[in-house]
Amino acid sequence: MTEEEISKTREKYINFLQPLFLPPDPQNKNVINYFASLLRIVGMEDKGWDPHLESRAILENLNSILQMDLPENSFPDNEWTKWRVGLLMYSHIVEMDAPYEVLTNLLRFKNEKGYSPNPFLLFLTDRQKKSAIKYGLNPKQKIGIIKELSSEAGINVGDIFDEIYNPDLRNAISHSDYILSNEGFRSRGGTINGNSFTMSLENLGEILVKSRIFMSTFFALESKTRNEWGKQKHKGIPFDPNLKALIEFLVNGEDQMCGFKIHWPNNSDSVYRRTEDGIEMTNCDVDMGNATISFSISSYAREPSSFSPLIEKNDSPTYSELENGVIPEWKN
The half-sphere exposure of 300 on its side-chain side, counting CA atoms within 13 A, is: 7
Nearest to 322 by CA among 242, 252, 240, 262: 262
pLDDT value at position 173?
A: 95
Three-point CA angle 78, 174, 218, nearest 5°: 80
pLDDT value at position 54?
A: 92
pLDDT value at position 217?
A: 97
Nearest to 265 by CA among 236, 292, 293: 236
C-alpha separations of 114 from 32, 97, 119 in Å: 10, 19, 9
N residues, the chain: 332
Distance CA 218, CA 212 (A): 10
pLDDT tens for the chain, residues 1 to 332 = 889 999 999 999 999 999 999 987 766 668 999 999 999 999 888 888 989 999 999 999 999 999 998 888 888 888 999 999 999 999 999 999 999 999 999 999 999 999 999 999 999 999 998 998 888 899 999 999 999 999 999 988 989 999 999 999 999 999 999 999 999 999 988 655 668 899 999 999 999 999 999 999 999 999 999 999 999 999 999 999 999 999 999 999 999 999 999 999 999 999 999 999 999 999 999 999 999 999 998 789 999 999 999 999 989 999 999 999 999 999 87
DSSP 22-90: S-S---STTHHHHHHHHHT--S-EETT--HHHHHHHHHHHHHHHHHS---TTT-TTHHHHHHHHHHHHH
